[in-house]
Amino acid sequence: AFVCEDEPEAKATYDIALTLDKKLKAISNMPEKETIHLSDAMKTVVFQRTPKMSSYLVYLGVADFETSETKAGNTTLRVVTLPGKIEQAGFALKAGKELLLKKEKYYGIPYPLPKLDMIAVPDFSAGAMENWGAITFREDRLLSNPKTAPSQEKIATISTISHELEHMWFGNLVTMAWWDDLWLNESFADVRAYNGLEESYPELDPWAEFLSKRVAGAYIIDGLKNSHPVHVNVNSPSEIREIFDAISYSKGGMILRMIEHLLGKDTYRKGLQIYLKKHAYSNTHAKDLWISLQEASGKPVGKIVDAWINTIGLPIVDAELNNNKIKVSQRRFNYLGSDRKTIWNIPLLIITDNKKLKNEMLEGKSKIVTLPEKNHWIKLNGGEFGFYRVRYSKELLNGIKKAVCKKNISVIDRWGIHNDLAALCFAGEISLKEYLDFVTESYINEDAYLVLMDIFSALQKMMIISTDEKFFDILQKRIHLFYSHLLSRIGFAPRKGEKETQGTIRAALFSGLGRLNDKVILKNAKEFAEKEFAAPGSISPDIRGVSYKLTAWQGDEKTFEKMLEIYMKAKNPSERNNLIEAKEALEALGSFKDEKILDKSFKFVLSSEVKPSDVAFFAISVLANPYGRKKLWPLMKKNWKLIKEYYDGGLTSHFNRILLGLSTLADTKVGNEIRKFIGKHNVHGTERSVKQMHEMMEINERFLQRAKKEF
């Protein structure tokens, strides 16, 4: 559109004018200044001058826009859509207003521009982009009908809005000097987005979403040899694309959460305000933030966080009990073998059944901590503020097991215990039997969304990669018994006054039991789907997508045609205008057992009827389908020209998700083939993901080898 030096440190003000058809509307970062009528057909829209900002934040938009508007303090706030979709804007407009006002109050700095547009874009490589004053969102991340959207989709919408609004301060007002500090933008937006939701939407359990969907992924990636530090050198555009990942976002966010806990909330907030006011409209390095936080707290923040930011990987703390003394030692955790070279400053924060907290810092390789009295259970990393794993001795783990079963330990700590155990199982540090015994005995009465979703995720992965093994029947029976017990307590139907997240738990149990071929669940799923087919909106939104997938799981050609019909109607605004249901129908198309029907699904999804960004939903669904997952890579090779056209340089993040999903094939021979093929037919920005995929395949392959010997 114009010549510029397109790097974050090259800030400028912009005078923007757009010449366009009179029938269309124009949007840029600032409000319209004047319209010049050139002829009966054409006009020029001139916008007010922007504040000083980086070129990547400039926005130019021309379309037949529709808008919905409100005021948030002194800011004119709008949701902008294409024709026929504005009715779905209300939820986002209300959330945007509430969140913007809260963020202004927290930072003590008013939102700097006179207007803020949130624009729904039909197809877009990212979930959203923080253009100053004109944020763009993929339609499914902004437009929502709260009456028909599952709770997971609501929180995806609200958290995305909250994340992008954080960027108005972190990223836009104050910008990293170079891409190696990208995490300064994204980590703040990632963790602070959920701080904003904690006050406004507690019923959606936002911290559970942050830990289960965001942080859990960062833990997995950082347990690989092919991870990267939070602060990473960047030398090319493809390297920039690669670092928009769980490390830059969620590991960085957890480190900031850890710093906030160490300094205290008020001191931390004061430090952020010093930083933003001192560097407004300019660029910074990470050290500038540490200086501001040190000014507020008097503590050597830079020294504390150095290894966390600049070192690849994460620590694991080994804990052993001797009377009332705990010996703790640290090493780098890795799924394929740990090492003891790196030393972190690790805040231990020991909690016990006596409700006494003990703040200790592990600064060397090991340390002995004396507790004031004997305890029935002891847990490290209380509140899960530290980004590290813990491995307990058998004596300590037995005490924790009883406390977890009685729910004497907090929800977030029960999550941390399980997340560590699942990782230790995949790393071969505990056996599959030990893991299953702990989970099915300790968490049998669990009802917390955060904890259960983490358990379901680990068990689903184990089931997917074990489908073809002889021991699968043993695994299947144990998991079926566990799931059945949980569902009998939660119930088949929503209960009055229950938390919204209970619907997500119910759906996950439905899905798990259905995939285990539970006849009652499959019958119910089919009845639910048929009820929804006959009268749209007649079943709970949380159960709708699962019912579609399980109906496809046991379905035939007629089911395939029905799912096609739902997708075509749902994506057409003149029919039903339901973006969420379009996604659910696509996922159902990847859930058939019948190989011939799956082939038809593949053919449809790669047609012009499906947006490139939506293909990933289908692909991930296929990879979770034991009958389809081995077909995906051969199909990708066969259609490589089209796949490369979709993902090279544009939708790279979607392609990386598919690549990591391929690791469930648990076959390093296939992994080597994929590496060689993509190396020869390169998709830029996937180099690290290809290595991670192969490493994860090896982890899963080793898991299977151990499990086969064990059973």
Query: 589: Cβ–Cβ under 8 A, 6 or more apart, which residues?
Result: 552, 560, 563, 564, 567, 601, 604, 605, 618, 621
Closest CA to 58 of 19, 16, 94: 16
In sign, the C-alpha dihedral spanning 227, 232, 238, 240 is positive
- Crossing angle (nearest 10°) for helices 687-710 and 668-680: 170
Identify the active-site residue in 164, 166, 209, 701. Answer: 164
In sign, the C-alpha dihedral spanning 60, 62, 63, 65 is positive
Please check whether residue 401 is in contact with residue 438, taking contact to mean a CB–CB distance below 8 angstroms: yes
Please check whether residue 419 is in contact with residue 333, taking contact to mean a CB–CB distance below 8 angstroms: no
- 317's torsion region: left (phi>0), alpha (psi -120 to 50) or beta? beta
- The DSSP secondary structure of 220-265, one letter per residue, reads HHHTSTT---SS----SHHHHHHTSSHIIIIIHHHHHHHHHHHH-H
CA distances to 49, 620, 644 from 640, in Å: 45, 18, 6
Q: Which DSSP category does 50 fall into?
A: P
CA–CA distance, 414 with 384 (Å, rounded to integer): 10
Closest CA to 132 of 170, 98, 101: 170
Query: 534: Cβ–Cβ under 8 A, 6 or more apart, which residues?
Result: none
CA distances to 13, 48, 71, 113 from 74, in Å: 22, 17, 7, 9
CA–CA distance, 509 with 99 (Å, rounded to integer): 33
CA–CA distance, 89 with 144 (Å, rounded to integer): 7
Which residues does residue 25 pair with via DSSP β-bridges, in sequence order? 63
Please check whether residue 169 is in contact with residue 176, taking contact to mean a CB–CB distance below 8 angstroms: no
In sign, the C-alpha dihedral spanning 27, 29, 34, 38 is negative
Helix (H, G, I), strand (E, B) or coil at 5: coil
Give the amino acid at 21.
D
Please check whether residue 29 is in contact with residue 60, taking contact to mean a CB–CB distance below 8 angstroms: no
- Crossing angle (nearest 10°) for helices 501-515 and 472-490: 150
In sign, the C-alpha dihedral spanning 565, 570, 572, 577 is positive
Q: Which DSSP category does 539 fall into?
A: S
Burial category of 267 from C-beta neighbours within 10 Å (exposed 0-12, middle 13-18, buried 19 and up)? middle
Query: 456: Cβ–Cβ under 8 A, 6 or more apart, which residues?
Result: 508, 509, 512
Closest CA to 674 of 654, 653, 695: 695
- The DSSP secondary structure of 418-454, one letter per residue, reads HHHHHHHHHTTSS-HHHHHHHHHHHSTT---HHHHHH
Active site residue 584: no
Strands 346-347, 361-362: pairing is: antiparallel
Closest CA to 187 of 266, 127, 265, 256: 256
CA distances to 125, 452, 613, 644 from 647, in Å: 9, 34, 9, 5
Catalytic residues: 164
